[in-house]
């Protein structure tokens, strides 16, 4: 009987810990939790920690105002307008694409990561070698806020914008400018 007690005690302890963790996360045992598919297919929403808990992804709805906070966006000839058409990529897929393109470490070192769905125009170089014309083009602008970017004059604190085609998921371009935060 002692052996049975010794074996059951760790199992009961682990079960108690699991219940404590669920309770501390606000989940009730037996409550319905949204499926991964439901979360991934939700347009324009993201839950912090789905991609990687060490990446500070904005949990709130990101808006055009978020990227326009930094005057350097407009000063470099970039325009963003509210999008009206539907697109193939949701926010989760876009963040995952940026993680693959830029590397996990870039996202981890950002103070915050935002993702905004817009019609994007590059007034200085709208024609790309790939035949894409960046004039009211549907994109996700994923901004890595407050990262260190090396320049020929040293390292600066910058916002890095990765422009992702909202339908194909491919990177169109990326650019950085000094952070205002």
- pLDDT, tens digit, for every residue of 136-169? 999 999 999 999 988 898 999 999 999 999 999 9
| pLDDT value at residue 166 | 96
List Cβ neighbours of 77 (8 Å cut-off, separation of 6 or more). 122, 123, 124
Rounded distance between C-alpha atoms, residue 113 and residue 37, angstroms: 22
Q: How far, in Å, CA of 78 to CA of 162, rounded?
A: 13
| Span 71-97, pLDDT tens digits | 989 999 999 999 989 999 999 899 889
Of 97, 113, 92, which is closest to residue 34 (Cα–Cα)?
92
Q: Which residue has the higher pLDDT, 7 or 104?
A: 104
CA angle centred on 86, ends 82 and 89, rounded to 5°: 100
Q: Are 139 and 118 contacting, i.e. CB atoms less than 8 angstroms apart?
A: yes
What does the pLDDT read at residue 64? Answer: 86
Contact at 8 Å (CB) between 92 and 40? yes
What pLDDT is stored for residue 68 in this prediction?
83
What are φ and ψ of residue 11, in 5° steps?
A: -65, -45
Structural domain boundaries of the chain?
Answer: 1-33, 36-178
Triad 63, 67, 70: Cα angle to 5°:
140
pLDDT of res. 172? 94
pLDDT confidence of residue 149: 87
40 versus 81: the higher-pLDDT residue is: 81
Q: What is the pLDDT of residues 12-32, one digit of tens each?
A: 333 333 333 333 333 333 333
pLDDT at residue number 55: 53
Distance CA 13, CA 25 (A): 18
């Amino acid at each position: 009987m002692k052996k049975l007690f010794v074996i059951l005690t760790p199992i009961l302890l682990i079960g108690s810990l699991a219940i404590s963790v669920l309770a501390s996360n606000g989940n009730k045992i037996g409550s319905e939790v949204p499926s991964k598919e439901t979360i991934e297919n939700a347009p324009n929403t993201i839950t912090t920690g789905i991609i990687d808990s060490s990446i500070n992804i904005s949990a709130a709805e990101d808006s055009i105002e978020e990227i326009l906070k930094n005057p350097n966006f407009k000063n470099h000839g970039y325009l963003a307008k509210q999008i009206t058409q539907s697109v193939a990529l949701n926010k989760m897929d876009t963040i995952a694409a940026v993680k693959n393109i830029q590397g996990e470490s870039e996202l981890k070192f950002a103070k915050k990561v935002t993702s905004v769905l817009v019609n994007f125009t590059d007034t200085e170089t709208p024609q790309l070698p790939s035949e894409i014309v960046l004039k009211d083009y549907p994109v996700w602008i994923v901004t890595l806020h407050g990262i260190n970017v090396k320049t020929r004059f040293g390292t600066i604190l910058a916002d890095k914008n990765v422009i992702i085609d909202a339908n194909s998921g491919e990177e169109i371009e990326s650019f950085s400018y000094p952070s205002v935060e």
